[in-house]
């Protein structure tokens, strides 16, 4: 493997890689063209597979030498056995699924741990747009209009923490990121992160 400039790697991908132990088995759900898959393989030396809804993305992955299959996170995770992977990763995809709660449960079933990243709908800019304009927020980071967005189940960081509790998941680690995917480098209570984080990454484990 060669030469893709690591400087061009998306910030959230780079941080997400830190959540994954080297040499582990990983399923990346919603892997798109394989950028995160390739980064995981190159930097963490993992045995990684991708699942992607769109065939064009899958074909690009395989042509890049990355293992990927076409499949729908909402329906196709049931084919994987319990504990098949060390990590089940859902990067920027949860909000586009039909049944996020079910999927979170599936992640924790097929993966010993789950890594989930998602845009935080509770960011102050979104709140301001709704408050001042009375319109659904459209930002650089969330560029879709309400009628054409693939994102059908937005949540806030606090919503996600609550959902994790409902599926008996323990939060092992969490990071709030700004729109560029950079760490917000100080510790703060959830409500602060919920206000200033454009996105978040969580590492979860099922409670014993």
Partner 1 sequence: MTNSTSATNGDAQINGNAQNNALDQANAPSSKLMCFGADNPLMLDSGAELAPWQIAYETYGTLNEDKSNAVVVCHALTGDQYVASQNPVTGKPGWWELMVGPGRPVDTNHYFVICANVLGGCMGTTGPASTNPETGTSYGLDMSVVTIGDMVRSQAKLVEALGIETLFAVVGGSMGGMQVLQWAAAYPEKVFAAVPIASGARHTSQNIAFHEVGRQAVMADPDWCQGKYAQENKRPVKGLAVARMAAHITYMSDESLQQKFGRNLQDRAAITFGFDADFQIESYLRHQGMTFVDRFDANSYLYVTRAMDYFDLAAAHGGRLANAFMHTKTRFCVMSFTTDWLFPTSESKAIVHALNAAAANVSFVEIDSSRGHDAFLLDEPEMFETMFGFMTGAANARGIPAPATPIGE
Q: Which residues bind partner 1 (CB under 8 A)?
A: 1-4, 38, 47, 49, 55, 58-59, 61-70, 76, 79-81, 84-85
- If the CB atoms of residues 12 and 38 are measured against partner 1, the closer one turns out to be 38
Place of tokens 């967005």: 149
* Alpha-carbon span 201 to 13, nearest angstrom: 10
> Encoding tokens for residue 156?
């806030």
In terms of CB distance, is 76 or 205 closer to partner 1?
Answer: 76
Q: How far is the CB of 111 from partner 1 (least distance, A)?
A: 11
Identify which of residues 13 and 123 has a Cβ nearer to partner 1 in the complex: 13
CA distance 197 to 190: 10
What is the smallest separation between the CB atom of 79 and partner 1, expressed in angstroms? 4
State which residue, 68 or 169, has the beta carbon closest to partner 1: 68
Give the nearest distance from C-beta 146 to partner 1 in angstroms. Answer: 31
Q: Exposed, middle or buried by CB within 10 Å (0-12, 13-18, 19+), for 76?
A: middle
Q: How far apart are CA 84 and CA 111, in angstroms?
A: 6
Q: How far is the CB of 124 from partner 1 (least distance, A)?
A: 38
Least spacing, CB of residue 38 vs partner 1, in Å: 6
Q: Are 13 and 36 in contact (CB under 8 A)?
A: yes
CB nearer partner 1, residue 20 or residue 142: 20
Q: How far apart are CA 186 and CA 36, in angstroms?
A: 26
Question: DSSP secondary structure string, 138-152?
Answer: --SSS---TTT-S--
């Amino acid at each position: 493997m060669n030469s893709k400039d690591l400087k061009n790697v998306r910030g959230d991908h780079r941080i997400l890689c830190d959540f994954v132990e080297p040499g582990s088995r990983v399923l990346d759900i919603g892997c798109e063209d394989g950028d995160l898959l390739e980064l995981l393989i190159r930097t963490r030396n993992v045995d990684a597979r991708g699942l992607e809804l769109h065939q064009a993305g899958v074909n690009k992955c395989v042509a890049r030498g990355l293992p990927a299959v076409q499949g729908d996170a909402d329906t196709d995770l049931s084919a994987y056995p319990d504990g098949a992977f060390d990590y089940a990763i859902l990067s920027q995809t949860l909000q586009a699924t039909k049944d996020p709660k079910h999927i979170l449960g599936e992640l924790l079933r097929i993966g010993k741990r789950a890594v989930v990243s998602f845009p935080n709908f509770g960011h102050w800019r979104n709140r301001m747009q709704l408050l001042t304009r009375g319109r659904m927020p459209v930002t650089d980071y969330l560029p879709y209009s309400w009628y054409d967005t693939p994102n059908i189940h937005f949540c806030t960081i606090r919503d996600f923490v609550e959902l994790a509790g409902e599926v008996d998941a323990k939060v092992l680690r969490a990071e709030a990121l700004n729109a560029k995917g950079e760490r917000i480098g100080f510790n703060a209570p959830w409500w602060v992160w919920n206000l200033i984080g454009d996105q978040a990454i969580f590492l979860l484990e099922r409670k014993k």
